[in-house]
């Protein structure tokens, strides 16, 4: 928990919530916060039955921590290194969605601050490998283009410019190989940004989402499909936009979704009667 990414504080909150749930489940539990050098924890981690990965963003989510633990024979929760790296790369995961006939907003990649997109305004500018909307801007006019690109490159070496879809924000949890009830997010800001994600009261959540049953089943089916196509394991959360015509668009797959009091995965499984403690236990059991 913790780590060096820009989502460190959220990771610590997730880690504390997971640790408390583990203790309530009767597991002997130790927290391992770190900042920059996870390797110093090697001897301690190797003594545990399993490590619950509560990191978000950076090396904790891009496959590097997973590869290091696997190399050192440390059992850990969630998806493996290849899938983690793939899902962290928005361009690659959207390409796989397209190959599987799952709609996703049009996009272009920028490799330097001097490049410009050919997509029409409005569009979204964001780092290719960040989560929690870090470095993301919705561009409404030409004067916002350069600042948005500079901001995105401040958080990553590749930048995605993506078609802006005006619509409802949906998210779908997969646990095991099953998609759970869809959550609709109604943020108080224009988009579900960092503040709306992690500040209680800044967003409304409707679960199950109030959409037609046929549409629900279609989104859940495609979520299970992209979960497998990306090689995900145990659990993950897919984000979508739903436009006014009822067309949904895949945005990204999160292999280490938050587990805080405002997090979406616990809200989704709760709609089926699963408690937070039961969710944590299920993740551990599936990972083992």
**pLDDT per residue as tens digits for the range 166-203:** 999 999 999 999 999 999 999 888 777 777 777 778 88
Q: Is 135 a catalytic residue?
A: no
Q: Is 62 a catalytic residue?
A: no
Tens of pLDDT along 87-124?
A: 999 999 999 999 999 999 999 999 999 999 999 999 99
Q: Is the domain of 92 the same as that of 202?
A: yes
96-103 LR contacts (CB < 8 Å, sep 24+) = 96/226, 96/229, 96/230, 97/226, 97/229, 97/250, 99/229, 100/222, 100/225, 100/226, 100/229, 102/222, 102/225, 102/226, 102/250, 103/247, 103/248, 103/249, 103/250
Name the domain boundary from 144, 163, 182: 163
| Contacts for 75 with CB less than 8 Å, ≥ 6 apart | 49, 50, 51, 69, 287, 288
Decide if 278 is inside a domain: yes
User: In the structure encoding, which two tokens stand for residue 93, read together?
Assistant: 């995961």
The CATH number covering residue 240 comes to 3.30.470.20
Q: Is 258 a catalytic residue?
A: yes
Q: Please give the DSSP secondary-structure letter assigned to residue 99.
A: H
> Does the pLDDT of residue 82 top 70, yes or no?
yes
Average pLDDT estimate for 22-40: 96
With beta carbons less than 8 A apart as the criterion, state whether 75 and 83 touch. no
Point out the catalytic residue in the list 80, 252, 268, 287. Answer: 252
Q: Is 252 a catalytic residue?
A: yes
With beta carbons less than 8 A apart as the criterion, state whether 11 and 5 touch. yes
Q: Is the domain of 94 the same as that of 226?
A: yes
Give the span between the Cα atoms of 283 and 271, in whole angstroms.
Answer: 17
Point out the catalytic residue in the list 164, 180, 192, 198. Answer: 198
Point out the catalytic residue in the list 3, 5, 6, 7. Answer: 7
Q: Is 239 a catalytic residue?
A: yes
Point out the catalytic residue in the list 132, 203, 268, 287. Answer: 132
């Amino acid at each position: 928990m913790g780590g060096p990414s820009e989502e460190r504080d959220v990771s610590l909150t997730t880690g504390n919530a997971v640790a408390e749930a583990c203790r309530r489940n009767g597991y002997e539990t130790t927290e391992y916060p770190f900042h920059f050098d996870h390797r110093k924890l090697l001897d301690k981690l190797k003594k545990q039955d399993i490590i619950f990965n509560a990191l978000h963003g950076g090396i904790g989510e891009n496959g590097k921590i997973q590869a290091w633990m696997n190399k050192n024979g440390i059992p850990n929760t969630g998806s493996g290194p290849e899938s983690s790296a793939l899902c962290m790369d928005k361009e690659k995961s959207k390409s796989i969605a397209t190959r599987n006939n799952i709609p996703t907003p049009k996009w272009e990649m920028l490799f330097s601050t001097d490049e410009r997109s050919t997509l029409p305004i409005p569009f979204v500018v964001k780092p290719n490998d960040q989560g929690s909307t870090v470095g993301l801007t919705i561009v409404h006019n030409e004067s916002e283009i350069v600042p948005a690109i500079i901001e995105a490159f401040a958080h990553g070496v590749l930048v995605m410019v993506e078609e802006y879809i005006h619509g409802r924000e949906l998210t779908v949890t997969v646990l095991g190989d099953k998609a759970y009830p869809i959550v609709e997010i109604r943020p108080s800001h224009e988009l579900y940004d960092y503040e709306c994600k992690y500040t209680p009261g800044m967003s409304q959540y409707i679960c199950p989402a109030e959409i037609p049953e046929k549409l629900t089943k279609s989104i859940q089916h495609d979520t299970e499909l992209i979960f497998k196509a990306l090689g995900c394991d145990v659990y993950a959360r897919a984000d979508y936009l739903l436009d006014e015509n009822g067309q949904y668009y895949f945005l990204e797959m999160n292999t280490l979704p938050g587990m805080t009091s405002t997090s979406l995965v616990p809200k989704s499984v709760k709609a089926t009667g699963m408690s937070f403690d039961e969710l944590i236990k299920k993740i551990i059991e599936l990972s083992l």
